[in-house]
Amino acid sequence: MTTRSTAILLAAGSGSRMQGTVADKILAPLNGLPVICHAIKAFLRSGIVDRFTIVYRDQAQHTALQTALSHIDLTGKSVDWVSGGGERQDSVYNALQAQAADCAYVYIHDCARPLVSVDALRALQAATLRDQAAVLAHPVTDTIKRIANADQLEQTELEDLERARLWAMETPQAFACAKILQAYTHVREAGLSITDDTAAAATIGLHTTLVPNETPNPKITTPDDIRYAEWCLQQG
- 214 within 8 A of 147, measured Cβ to Cβ: no
* End-to-end C-alpha distance for the chain, whole angstroms: 38
Residues of the chain with pLDDT below 50 are: 1-2, 18-19
Give the integer Cα–Cα distance in Å for 10 and 226.
Answer: 18
Domain-embedded: residue 155: no
How high is the pLDDT of residue 235?
Answer: 86
Domain-embedded: residue 151: no
Domain-embedded: residue 76: yes
- 32 within 8 A of 38, measured Cβ to Cβ: no
How high is the pLDDT of residue 100?
Answer: 95
The separation between CA 103 and the C-alpha centre of its own chain, rounded to angstroms, equals 18
Give me the number of domains the chain comprises: 1
- 206 within 8 A of 179, measured Cβ to Cβ: yes
How high is the pLDDT of residue 15?
Answer: 59
| CA-angle at 106, arms to 105 and 107, nearest 5° | 130
Domain-embedded: residue 112: yes
Domain-embedded: residue 146: no
Domain-embedded: residue 211: yes
**What confidence tens digit (pLDDT) does each residue in 16-40 have?**
554 455 679 999 999 999 999 999 9
Domain-embedded: residue 141: no
Domain-embedded: residue 159: no
How high is the pLDDT of residue 148?
Answer: 93
Q: Determine the structural domain holding residue 99 and report its residue range.
A: 4-136+169-235
Could you tell me the CATH number of the domain that includes residue 199? 3.90.550.10
**What confidence tens digit (pLDDT) does each residue in 185-228 have?**
999 999 999 999 999 999 999 999 999 999 999 999 998 999 99
